[in-house]
Amino acid sequence: MSAEWESIFLSLRLAGLVTVMLLVIATPLAWWLARSRDPLRPVVEALTALPLVLPPTVLGFYLLILLNPQSPIGSFWREWTGGSLTFSFAGLVVASIVYSLPFAVQPLQTAFASVGRGQLEAATSLGAGPLDRFLHIVIPHSIRGYITAAVLSFSHTLGEFGIVLMMGGSIPGETRVVSIALFEAVETLDYDTAHTLAAGLILFAFVTLLAVFALNRRFPVHVR
């Protein structure tokens, strides 16, 4: 397998894993942000959205400090797994989750906020518990939010550069994702490879956006 294909498959593996984990993490957080009246909600909302305005290198720098083998978290990880969180695939997963979190939370928060309270109250009066209400009312009414969150999380993770370079460097088969391969191709004046990788990313971005728009047309917005 060529180095470029190895980078592509590594990127797809990273983006797929991060997307699944983000949907799991973002669901309860987005539900709380959409429904809670806690005074701390604006603070949590701002912290969640922080990666949208912070340079990736800033996040990468502090994650390096937080997760390095000498830190409490990094030391625990090394004792538990025998590996390091920095300059490893596991570190890329953690960094990507942090950096792409708002792309999963915000579409879900918007979708959850659109679910009518009347439907939930009616289900409660019929004896449905919180989990039943969420699984049978909230999720079916929030399919568009889940589709958007999944596509944005996957695409954003696939195109990350700054934070993956800071956290992972360029280790073939471990941290050299497609954005790093593209950067290195340009740096070494290998424009044929750079054009191929860049065109592939553009095509992927167009196809995924086309798919999400087509899927969203099949799931109409539910008005309260």
Closest CA to 199 of 178, 220, 221: 178
Instruction: Give the pLDDT mean for 124-153.
Output: 79
10 Å CB burial of residue 154 (0-12, 13-18, 19+) is: buried
Cα–Cα distance for residue pair 78/110, rounded to 1 Å: 39
Higher pLDDT, residue 140 or 109: 109
Strands (E) across 5-156 are located at none
Q: What pLDDT does 134 receive?
A: 78
| Average pLDDT score, the chain | 86
CA atoms of 52 and 54, how far apart (whole Å): 6
Q: How far apart are CA 34 and CA 41, in angstroms?
A: 9
pTM reported for the whole predicted model: 0.86
CA pair distance 199, 205, nearest whole angstrom: 10
Domains and CATH numbers, the chain: 3-56+91-218 (1.10.3720.10)
223 falls in which pLDDT band (50, 70, 90)? very low
Nearest-angstrom CA–CA distance, 175 and 187? 18
Give the model confidence (pLDDT) of 78-111 as tens digits.
888 888 888 999 999 999 999 999 999 999 999 8
How many other CB atoms are found less than 10 A from the CB of residue 95?
Answer: 26
If pLDDT is split at 50, 70 and 90, which confidence band does 11 have? very high
Using one digit for the tens of pLDDT, what is the confidence trace for 142-167? 888 998 899 899 988 988 888 888 88
**73: which 2 tokens?**
């978290």
- What is the C-alpha separation between 139 and 3, in angstroms, rounded? 41
pLDDT over 50 (residue 224): no
Q: Identify which of 63, 70, 90, 57 has the alpha carbon closest to the alpha carbon of residue 171.
A: 90
Q: Among 28, 203, 221, which residue's Cα sits nearest to residue 142?
A: 221
Confidence at 220, pLDDT banded by 50, 70, 90: low
Q: Tell me how far apart the alpha carbons of residues 49 and 58 are, in angstroms, rounded to a whole number.
A: 15
Q: Which residues contact 205 (CB under 8 A, 6 or more apart)?
A: 155, 159
The C-alpha atoms of residue 165 and residue 57 are separated, in whole angstroms, by: 9
